[in-house]
Amino acid sequence: MTDRITDESIRKLVDDWYLALDRHDEVETVKGMLVDDGLEMRFPETTARGHAGFGEWYKTVTNKFFDELHVVTDVSASIDGDRATVLVRVNWQASVWTPPEPRSARLDFDADQTWVVVAGRNGPRIKSYVVNGLVPREQS
């Protein structure tokens, strides 16, 4: 039996997702928020499919970016039974060091995303995740 999708359960998923990314949680923990069958995640740098594809992407970004902070600025969902289309706006900040540069650089972007989430036994899970746009802020 799956839990019913609600605006509150979607917001919890969004908040939990970004907290996990900021903390660089273990990949297996983060995969618990994703479906495996039919998962597609489109990032600016790659498209990841299934848990294996996500794991490769996650390893790359958690080894590249640090001091990450995601601030969710808007979440709006259109719920249709056991699935929902979710529009997410988030400010992403991170530091990155590119050898042999003497200092790290601070990144600051506003991201516009569209997620498709489906009902699961422990709340909604991400089936599709698309970064529609990434706009740098002045200081980035």
Q: Supply the CATH number for residue 11's domain.
A: 3.10.450.50
Specify the pLDDT at position 139. 72
Tokens of 26: 């273990």
Q: What is the pLDDT of residue 140?
A: 66
**Is 2 inside a domain boundary?**
no
- Residue at 12 is within a domain: yes
pLDDT for residue 25: 98
Query: Are 128 and 115 spatial neighbours (Cβ–Cβ below 8 Å)?
Result: yes
Please write the tens of the pLDDT for every residue from 9-49.
999 999 999 999 999 999 999 999 999 899 999 999 999 99
Q: Is 1 among the domain residues?
A: no
Number of domains composing the chain: 1
Mean pLDDT, consecutive 10-residue segments, the chain of 140 residues? 88 98 98 96 96 98 97 98 97 96 96 97 95 89
Cis bond upstream, residue 102 (ω within 30):
no
In a domain, 117, yes or no: yes
Q: Which domain holds residue 46?
A: 7-136
- What contacts 119, CB < 8 A, 6 or more positions away? 2, 3, 4, 5, 82, 83
The pLDDT value recorded for residue 138 is 81
Confidence at residue 82, expressed as pLDDT on a 0 to 100 scale? 95
- For residue 91, the model assigns a pLDDT of 98
